[in-house]
Structure 1
């Protein structure tokens, strides 16, 4: 259920705060929020890059969201070598035992969720969520994310780590024509 809280004035894109709440009504942190904009077909990012580092034998960040077409670098800042992999349908790849930064980044070219691991350190896991829109973010500790959105009827996609490899949930999103506002979203997986 999504309800805009503010009324009308401008038809241009505006900054909106999306508040995501769990089934109990509590703020839902670390939820990927992506808004597929009506009338704007999916297209890959051009020249976009991101980083999924390894530091202290952990992936940093443990949750990364990128637009399709983004090149992701995997620098290893540890004194040990890592063997990074994903066997997820979204992106299958292996970066065999390495130190430093691999010469070539990994291009994430289709939407979905890629679960990452390290063959050497089993406790090292992370997720990369790949979306077909430039309007995306991750909720903070208050369950909020700010996005610049035009008025209209769009599609909202939400994903949290408890969903594993499952595709993000999807629901309609009506954005009013206010200059700014708050949208409240209930996230039930």
Structure 2
């Protein structure tokens, strides 16, 4: 039979083990990582896709993941949408005129004929790459859906900045802009996660 001191010590050791088990995942939790994109003159680069490649990260989106690519004022909003492979995209039309959205890109060729409101079914993007979007009625409308095999991504704001929650460690960051063209995968560089902004300069 265990005496009281032995039993108390055992309970403390068990409690310590349980606490350690509970705290272990904290070291791998994601933390905000700021990125700053600039051109070679140091000017901010807005509207750029920033993708963080983390070893072991899941490639496919969680089932049921849905994003929106709206049409408003005869434009795609946002102009660039980044999604994870396997995500579905709705194309709501907020204009008073009908649109005819399409893409001929190998990443996801599709067509949604003249419609108002929101189409009945979203479009599933099941492989990585870039789909360039257009409208058969309004030729000036142009948009992009950039599909990536990672859950860590974002788009730079008007100041060329974006913050992405990522796990600690050494990773690679990839940058893609519409000016690079849909056949380009973008540019990559290694980095180590931390609180300081990662400044990336893009040459034209």
Instruction: Tell me whether the two structures share a fold, i.e. TM-score over 0.5.
Output: yes
More strand by share: 1
What secondary structure, in the 3-state scheme, does the structure 1 residue paired with 2:197 have? strand
Q: Please give the root-mean-square deviation of Cα atoms over the aligned residues, in Å.
A: 1.7
Q: Deviations over 1:122-158 (max 9, x none)?
A: 0111111111111100111221100112222222111
What secondary structure, in the 3-state scheme, does the structure 2 residue paired with 1:181 have? coil
Structure 2 partner of 1:43: 60
Q: Which of these two proteins has the greater Rg computed from alpha carbons?
A: 2
| Residues 1:26 and 2:39 are matched in the alignment | no
**Scaled by the length of structure 1, what TM-score is found?**
0.86
Long gaps (5+) in structure 2 = 1-26
Q: In the aligned structure 1, how far is the partner of 2:82 from the partner of 2:170? A: 23
| Residues 1:56 and 2:77 are matched in the alignment | no
- Preserved contact between residue 28 and residue 143 of structure 1 (Cα < 8 Å): yes
Q: In the aligned structure 2, how far is the partner of 1:81 from the partner of 1:12? A: 45
Structure 2 partner of 1:183: 198
Runs of 4+ in 1 over 6 A off after TM superposition: none
Q: In the aligned structure 2, how far is the partner of 1:134 from the partner of 1:31? A: 17
Higher relative contact order (CA 8 A, sep 6+): 1
More helix by share: 2
Instruction: State how 1:136-147 maps to structure 2 within 5 Å.
Output: 136-147=153-164
**Scaled by the length of structure 2, what TM-score is found?**
0.81
